[in-house]
Structure 1
Amino acid sequence: MSLPRIAALSDIAKLTDRLPEADTAAAEAARARQNSLTKPPGSLGRLEALAEFMATWRGTARPEIWRAQALVFAGNHGICAQGVNPYPQEVTAQMVANFRSGGAAINQLCAVTGADLSVIALELDRPTGDFTEGPAMSETDCLDALWQGASAVDEGADILILGEMGIGNSTVAAALAAACFGGDVAEWTGPGTGSDKAGIARKIDAIGRGLKRHEGVIGNAPEILAALGGREQAAICGAVLAARAARIPVILDGFICTAAAAVLYATDKRLLDHCLVGHASAEPGHRKLLAAIHKRPVLEFDMRLGEGSGAALALGIVRSALACHNGMATFGEAGVSEA
């Protein structure tokens, strides 16, 4: 199915019961196959769980990845006016050009793991508003970015990798996480692209002022997205929802990508049931966020690049899980005696 029309931010909370649920029959069939393969039960550890996860959302006991789609969304942010990033916003467009010419890490990782990469720039010449002074986005702007994300999803894909690029968006991610899950702002805030102690202090101060200004939307996650988020965060939410409608499993990248999708979890935790988190970012707020949304990352490689790089790397693990799941012989096929 295609994603039902979202005409207002309040519609997001109404989606869960209209979207596909886990296919428990396919999951049970995949588990039975795992238990019949020529290995001790459970001996492949999380590879078995990943195969079962893929079966659950693809609706078949023997899922395969014929098409892996990778989407990287890019946006610029008004909060940069508060001195929260050591790099100028021009770097966002420069990195988009680098992605498109094949020169970034995400290009190499997608080539190795077999993902088709698209990079979608979202009005880079029109940054969002400075959330210390007003909403980052109007409802219309937020919904437009959400639908751009949703429209970018190929409904024929077997798995979707999501990533982002945007100078200032680690500040946005920390603000979204703090607004959705509470706690000390400092615990959500890290160096991002390399801020020093003074830069991190500016980020914490800007987020604190933003939370105070928008305290009226706390408890309403979609409104938090518009008040504090960016276009790439809204696009990630749209892509996650469109993937759910098409029963496409999703691999989220690190802190920034997870924080964007966590807005959906804060709306209704079932909205991320079809999502994996590719890796645990070295950005300090990510582990706290993973605990809040009850997700265990596929990998822990001390990465904090963004771009979807950790998600692309995790795709290789998922492919390996399915290669074992589909390619191994059963005890009966191999003529091996079972216990």
Structure 2
Amino acid sequence: MAQDPIFAPISKRSAALPDALKLPPVAGTSDTMLEFALRQRLAPTGMPEHALGRMETLVLQLARAQNGSAIEFDLLAFDSPQLVVFAADHGIADEGMSSMAPTMTEQMVMQLLRGQAPVNALAALHGFDLTVVDAGMAKPISAPGNTKLRGSLLLRKIAYGTRNVLLGPAMSTAQAVSAVHAGMDVVRHLPGNVIALADVGVANAVSASLLLSRLCGVPLVDAFGRDETEASALDDTHHVQRVEKLSAAAARHRNAIGPFEALAALGGFEIAMMTGAMLQAASERRVVLVDGYVAGAAALVARGLCPDVVDYLVFTHRAADAGHRLLLIHMQTQPLLDMGLRIGQGTGALMAWPMLLAAQSLLER
């Protein structure tokens, strides 16, 4: 029996990309000599090899990412760190796929702009500049009047939410190309060499689950599994109905098997923009902090388009989403933190930021 193309390795799938899609070149960071020298610097006197464990791995990754010039690498430098939160709505939300009302996307964006979200406190603590990007919210949005903004609002709306994937592809090819390019453009105009990428959007975990299933062959029942909190709040019948709807959507778009094709058919505008943002940031040798399940799905797509992008991606935490654990396994990485977060918006990425500062300090001793 022929294997279902959904379960074929990503490297063997159709790699045809639209002519209009222009991706930046991304250089790999492998450097054996640099790694050897840094291991010697990091090794505590009298301690066993790899005494610093995964912290050593993090230091080496960061150093390789920043070792892109003719000047010999010495110390890690983090300049003007940025937090970019991409917001979008999803047509599949109309099918009752989320416990949150569709209007919550707008409410969460307004909280971010007013400085009322938990991540605002963390951004202020760590000196991150916040940018919120309207990638495709269902309603027009503008900066709140008579209120001091706690971040910048960029209007990069592709459309007023994606289409319902049960009825058709989430995006047209042209829309997906525009969204990827918009994400690249956002990064080009931001300063600094560190960027945290996060998301806001009701039912965006549905798109993440569909992409994980399609690109990695994970059964939808696992990719869209429930965490402990959801299991107690949602009865089994309701959850089974949701999985059946996702299965119908996946079957409808069974021919979308390449990374870009899957993104257009099953993804969201914020996922497409984060994909472009990751590729652009990697091409500029910026360190990319990846926050949560939805941003992880963008990383899956970015890896499919350019495998070397993973050299620049720091997976900051493992979210409560059941599928996120599987996604991290397929990315062959371990996150810095596991706090059971269910909030998104970059909260986990900024909680993990002190780990990068610790890596910086280890090379300064």
Q: Say whether the fold is shared (TM-score over 0.5).
A: yes
1:143 aligns with 2:143: no
Among 119, 130, 133, the residue aligned to 1:117: 130
| 3-state SS of paired residue (1:122) | strand
Q: Please give the alpha-carbon distance, in whole angstroms, between the structure 2 residues aligned to 1:199 and 1:85.
A: 11
Cα distance in 2, alignment partners of residues 23 and 67 from structure 1: 26
CA separation of 1:307 and 1:23: change in aligned 2, threshold 3 A: same
1:77-101 Cα offsets, whole Å, 9 max, x none, are 0011211112222110111010011
> How far did 1:210 drift?
1.1
Distance 2:21 2:41 in 1: 36
Deviations 1:76-135 (A, max 9, x none): 000112111122221101110100111111112222233221111123131100111111
Question: Displacement of 1:13 after TM fit?
Answer: 9.8
Counterpart Cα distance in 1 of 2:20 and 2:335? 26
2:359 is matched with 321
Name 2:218's counterpart in structure 1: 183
Does the C-alpha gap of structure 1 residues 152 and 140 become closer, same or farther in structure 2, counting only changes over 3 Å? same
Q: In structure 2, do the counterparts of structure 1 residues 324 and 185 end up closer, same or farther at CA, with 3 Å as the change threshold? A: same
| Aligned match for 1:265, one of 300, 303, 309 | 303
- Which residue number corresponds to residue 70 of structure 2? none
For 1:90, the equivalent position in structure 2 comes to 103
Structure 2: 5+ residue stretches without partners: 1-15, 68-72, 140-159
Aligned equivalent of 1:54: 62
**3-state SS, counterpart of residue 132 of structure 2:** strand
1:211 paired with 2:218, answer no
Residues 26 and 306, structure 2, Cα contact 8 Å, conserved in 1: no
Instruction: Report 1:24-173 matches (<5 A).
Output: 24=31, 25-35=33-43, 40=47, 42-59=50-67, 60-124=73-137, 125=139, 126-153=160-187, 154=189, 156-173=191-208
Q: TM-score, normalised by structure 2?
A: 0.80
Q: Give 1:263 deviation, angstroms.
A: 1.4
Deviations 1:232-267 (A, max 9, x none): 000110110011110011111111110121112234
Match of 1:202 in 2: 241
Change (3 A) 1:61 1:156: farther
Separation in structure 2 between the aligned mates of residue 216 and residue 117 of structure 1, nearest angstrom: 38
Tell me: CA distance 1:75–1:273, structure 2 relative to 1, closer, same or farther (3 Å). Answer: same
| Alpha-carbon distance in 2 for matches of 1:150, 1:39 | 47
Task: Give the number of aligned pairs.
Answer: 317
Partner of 2:3: none
User: What amino acid maps onto 1:32 in structure 2?
Assistant: Q
In the TM superposition, what is the alpha-carbon distance from 1:42 to its structure 2 partner? 3.2
Looking at structure 2, the residues matched to 140 and 256 of structure 1 have their Cα atoms a distance apart, in angstroms, of 22
- Pair 1:222-2:260 in alignment: yes
Indicate how the Cα distance of structure 1 residues 58 and 151 shifts in structure 2: closer, same or farther if over 3 A, else same: same
Who is 1:300 aligned against? 338
One-letter code aligned to 1:115: F
CA distance in 2, matches of 1:236, 1:318: 21
Q: SS of 1:20's equivalent?
A: coil
Structure 1 residue 173, shift from structure 2 partner: 0.7
RMSD, aligned CA: 2.4
Which residue type is aligned with residue 42 of structure 1? H
Structure that is richer in helix per residue = 1
CA deviations on 1:263-284 (whole Å, 9 max, x unpaired) are 1223453332211111111111
Out of 182, 187, 209, which is 1:174 matched to?
209
Per the TM alignment, residue 28 of structure 1 is displaced from its structure 2 partner at its CA by 4.0
Q: Which segments of 5 or more consecutive residues in structure 1 lack a partner in the other structure?
A: 1-7, 329-339
8 Å CA contact 1:88, 1:167 repeated in 2 = yes
- Provide closer, same or farther for how the CA distance between residues 276 and 11 of structure 1 changes in structure 2, counting only shifts above 3 A: farther
1:19-42 Cα offsets, whole Å, 9 max, x none, are 22205154444333223x667353
Q: Distance in 1 between matches of 2:186 and 2:92?
A: 26
Paired letter, 1:71: V
CA contact (8 A) 2:208 2:297 kept: yes
- Cα pair distance change 1:261/1:177, threshold 3 Å: same
Structure-1 separation of matches of 2:340 and 2:298? 20
CA shift, 1:286, in A, is: 1.0
SS of residue paired to 2:255: helix
Q: Aligned with 1:217: secondary structure?
A: coil
Distance 1:172 1:265, change over 3 A: same
Match of 2:157 in 1: none
Equivalent position to 1:286, from 324, 333, 338:
324
